[in-house]
Each structure stands twice: as structure tokens, then as C-alpha cells.
Amino acid sequence: MAAVRIENVSKRFGATEALSHVSLEIAAGEICFLLGPSGCGKTTLLRAVAGFVEPDEGRIFIGGEEVTRMAAHERGAAMMFQSYALWPHMTVEGNVGFGLEERGVKMSSVRGEVRTALERLRIQAYSERKIHELSGGQQQRVALARALVVQPRCLLLDEPLSNLDSRLRVEMRGEIRRVCKEFGLTAIYVSHDQKEALAIGDRIAVMEEGRIRQVGVPLEVYRQPGSRFVAEFLGETNLLEGTVEGRGVVTEIGRFEVVEVAEQSGKMLVSIRPEAWRLGVGDEGVNSFAGRIVETIYLGEMARHRFALDGGSKELIVFELNPWPREGGRLFATVDPGDVVTILES
């Protein structure tokens, strides 16, 4: 049974359609990301599950129980906000135990539950500190402990890492995933950060203009995008227009051999991720194109090249891992057929 089920949910704010007939099932113990640009409806959908927004149409279930018209505090869902929403006048222990006290849990039980949550989040040493005495990462752990201590049926996270610096973001990605899996939590996580979604999520639902465009495991959504929007939003890609010809696709730069085509005829797009290209001095035959590097941006672990094809009609973006300085000259960019993805034009 799905731990969270969203059926045909729509929501309008005046003339703006924030959600349009959205359906999604999230399995028990799964971390599902709602990923998309600002204004795509992901936060509205999360708030609808939480009970802060009432849908105009559709139904929402948590743990098999319909909660569409149920008050937020009755749903068994815990929300972790972008701002953390911690009480500055309380200690860490007081913040974490607040939700239990509001539910009428006995003080003796509150202390034990809070102690366990602090230990699981590895912040037991800070239990008597005030919030202003903590770093951003420590505050984030307190907010997570407060959400978990009430033993929610599902955990809802609204861009919880957006206020952290890049190093802490990377550290906390792994921590959030560890805690969710350790507690066996079902989680819905809103983000516009593709790396975050790929690193933490079991599945990703990519949203655009109030609709879900594609749902799948991170590897599938990244390597097999189903539309131009998903291909371009989830990382960089090279998009070429083409038509099917036999077992390949003919594009504006030449013919590609592919493993599978979206359709047997008609126009389509070819999507090739920049890291799928290999650069070499010799023609490797299939899916190999001659040209020159015209610009390189060095990024440490990799270089991002602009590769101008012979004839000057097209440039490709090519990533090169562990790059070494290259002298100018003619090179060949080659891609395996399995890395050439075809997308139907829509």
C-alpha cells in the first residue's frame, strides 16, 4: 500500500492554476523528491499534503486514510520548513520536545523521547544550548529531530538545506537520507536543486507548470529524460533535432547509431549528456565527430569544453573528467549508442 497517495489534485489561486490534476503514489519508507523550477507547484503540492492548502479537486491519502479535508495537526505528518522555525527562547531540548508536550505526552516520556532523538541526530551534547548558540548545520539537525520525535506517518521537507553553505549542504544530504532510512520514514522533499534530488531521493517527480512531467528513480530520470523540459532541467544536455532512419537518427550534425528510438518514424530530439562524450585524436567511427575546443572552463575535477564541430555549424558541450591541459588542434568527440537518448518532440 502507498504511504501517501495523491489523486487528481488541482488548486487555483485566482487566475493562476498552481496544480493541475496531479496524481502521485509514494511507497512506505520512500524518499520522494518534488523537483522543479520556482512557481512549478511543488511547494503548493507539499502544503496540500500537510494540510495548509485545501485542494479545489482531488483527494489525498496518508497511510490509507483520506486526509483531504482533515486539519493539519490530525494528519500525522511532520513539516520541516526552510527557515527551521525554531523557538529562539528555548533550549535545544525544549524545541525538540515542544511537539510532544503539545500532544499531552507525559513529561517523563517526553524526556526519554527527546534524548533518543538527539542521540540519533548526534546533537545530544547541545541539549542545553539556545538556538542562537548553534551553527546552521546544528540548527538544521534540531529542526529534523523536532520533526522526527513525534513519530510522524510522513515527513515533509520544504527546501531544508537552502540556508546552508555548499560544504554543509553536501554533509546534510547524507545525514537526511541516513536518518530517514534509519527511522523507516516516508518523506516528501521539495527542492529545485538537481544534485540534492539525485543524491538523496529514491524517486524524483519532476514538475512544470502545475503538472508532473516525469517520475522515476534518479538514474532513470537523468539518463532517460522523457521530454525536452526534463532533459534540460535535470543537468546540462546537448539537444539536436533529428529524424529516424533505420536503426539510427539523422540530425543536423550527422547520423547517430542508437540502442532504442522513441518512435519508428517522425521528428524527434536527440539528447546527449556532456559527460557522455569522449575526446580523442583519432576517428573512432560510429558516432564520432571532428572539431576543436574553442573554450574551456576549468572546474577542478572536470573541465567544461565548448567543442566547435568542423564546418562551424554547431557547438557541443563536453565534460572531461580529471582534465589535463590540451594543446589546440583537431579532435574527435565520440559517444556510445547507449548514451544517445531520443525524445519525441511535443
Domain extent at residue 285: 237-344
Task: Tell me, yes or no, whether 81 and 111 share the same domain.
Answer: yes
Of 178, 199, 228, the residue at which a domain comes to its end is 228
Give the model's pLDDT for residue 259.
Answer: 87
Only one residue has cell 532504442, namely 260
Task: Say how far apart CA 265 and CA 285 lie, in whole Å.
Answer: 25
Give the model's pLDDT for residue 324.
Answer: 77
In this predicted structure, the answer to whether residue 346 has a pLDDT above a threshold of 60 is no
Task: Say how far apart CA 173 and CA 59 lie, in whole Å.
Answer: 31
Q: Quick one: average pLDDT of 74-86?
A: 82
Task: Tell me, yes or no, whether 106 and 156 share the same domain.
Answer: yes
Confidence of residue 250 (pLDDT cuts 50, 70, 90): very high
pLDDT digits (tens, 9 = 90+) for 10-55: 999 999 999 999 999 999 999 999 999 999 999 999 999 999 999 9
Task: Tell me, yes or no, whether 125 and 158 share the same domain.
Answer: yes
Task: Tell me, yes or no, whether 122 and 253 share the same domain.
Answer: no
Give the model's pLDDT for residue 108.
Answer: 62
Task: Tell me, yes or no, whether 70 and 131 share the same domain.
Answer: yes
pTM (predicted TM-score) = 0.87
Q: Quick one: average pLDDT of 74-96?
A: 84
Confidence of residue 247 (pLDDT cuts 50, 70, 90): confident
Give CA separation, 301 vs 1, 233, 324, in Å. 43, 22, 10
Task: Tell me, yes or no, whether 242 and 221 share the same domain.
Answer: no
Q: Quick one: average pLDDT of 317-324?
A: 89
Task: Tell me, yes or no, whether 112 and 223 share the same domain.
Answer: yes
In this predicted structure, the answer to whether residue 99 has a pLDDT above a threshold of 90 is no
Task: Tell me, yes or no, whether 193 and 265 share the same domain.
Answer: no
Task: Tell me, yes or no, whether 137 and 221 share the same domain.
Answer: yes
Give the model's pLDDT for residue 263.
Answer: 67
Of 201, 228, 255, the residue at which a domain comes to its end is 228
In this predicted structure, the answer to whether residue 1 has a pLDDT above a threshold of 60 is no
Confidence of residue 104 (pLDDT cuts 50, 70, 90): low
Task: Say how far apart CA 11 and CA 137 lie, in whole Å.
Answer: 34
Q: Quick one: average pLDDT of 222-227?
A: 94
Task: Tell me, yes or no, whether 160 and 116 share the same domain.
Answer: yes
Give the model's pLDDT for residue 210.
Answer: 96
Task: Tell me, yes or no, whether 219 and 273 share the same domain.
Answer: no
Task: Say how far apart CA 58 and CA 20 lie, in whole Å.
Answer: 10
Task: Say how far apart CA 67 and CA 240 lie, in whole Å.
Answer: 45
Q: What is the CATH number of the domain that holds 285?
A: 2.40.50.140
Give the model's pLDDT for residue 249.
Answer: 92
CA 283-284-289 angle, to 5 degrees, is: 55
Task: Tell me, yes or no, whether 193 and 270 share the same domain.
Answer: no
Q: What is the CATH number of the domain that holds 119?
A: 3.40.50.300
More confident residue, 114 or 5: 5
pLDDT digits (tens, 9 = 90+) for 119-156: 888 888 888 899 888 888 888 888 888 888 888 889 99
First-to-last C-alpha distance (Å) of the chain? 34
The neighbouring-strand residues paired with 77 are 154
Give the model's pLDDT for residue 265.
Answer: 65
Of 165, 199, 228, the residue at which a domain comes to its end is 228
pLDDT digits (tens, 9 = 90+) for 153-170: 899 999 888 877 788 788
Overall number of domains in the chain = 2
Mean model confidence pLDDT for the chain: 89
